[in-house]
Amino acid sequence: MLRLVQPTAAERYVTCLPLIPLKAAAGVFGDPQRIPEEQGWENWVAVDLGRKLRPGMFVAKVIGKSMEPRIPDGSYRVFTAPVVGAQQGKVVLAQLKNEVDPESGERYTVKLYESEKSTDADGTWRHLTVTLRPVNRDF
């Protein structure tokens, strides 16, 4: 259960995170998006993850059944932006640039990230494929 709070500046990203008003459904993985600064955010929620919070973390609601049973429909999840490091096999929040999620009609989707890469002789790499996969086999 989410508990809305009115944090002081010192409490932000220490005991609470912003609740971002986007609907993320549970296509194409775009560039990491930056979450805007907290100025103007009205909703903050108390969070106890058992690890240190930091700027860039936020809470969003996941709508839909494509990630069940791992992420139940209507649950809230903590995300971090920008995305850094390896994402292989991790749950990601992706913004769809040219499509909408067929389950929710929204431009954001939550899925498992899988990619296949190719490494050139000079050590640079590129994606051959990127797949955003649901957990629920019905999707």
Residue 51 domain-assigned?
A: yes
pLDDT digits (tens, 9 = 90+) for 27-55: 223 334 444 555 557 799 999 999 999 99
| pLDDT-based confidence at residue 78 (cuts at 50, 70, 90) | very high
Strand partners, 93: 110
Q: Is the dihedral of CA 128, 132, 136, 139 positive or negative?
A: negative
37, two tokens: 């600064």
Q: Give a three-class secondary structure readout of 7-34.
A: CCCCCECCCEEEEEEEEEECCCCCCCCC
pLDDT at 15: 95
Residue 8 domain-assigned?
A: yes
Residue 68 domain-assigned?
A: yes
Residue 56 domain-assigned?
A: yes
Residue 83 domain-assigned?
A: yes
Residue 138 domain-assigned?
A: no
- Looking at the structure of the chain, the number of domains it has is 1
Distance CA 30, CA 108 (A): 11
| pLDDT-based confidence at residue 75 (cuts at 50, 70, 90) | very high
pLDDT at 31: 38
Distance CA 139, CA 122 (A): 39
Residue 66 domain-assigned?
A: yes
Percentage, residues of the chain above pLDDT 70: 87
Residue 85 domain-assigned?
A: yes
Burial of 122 per CB tally in 10 Å (0-12, 13-18, 19+): exposed
Structural domain of residue 83, as residue ranges? Answer: 4-133
pLDDT at 29: 31
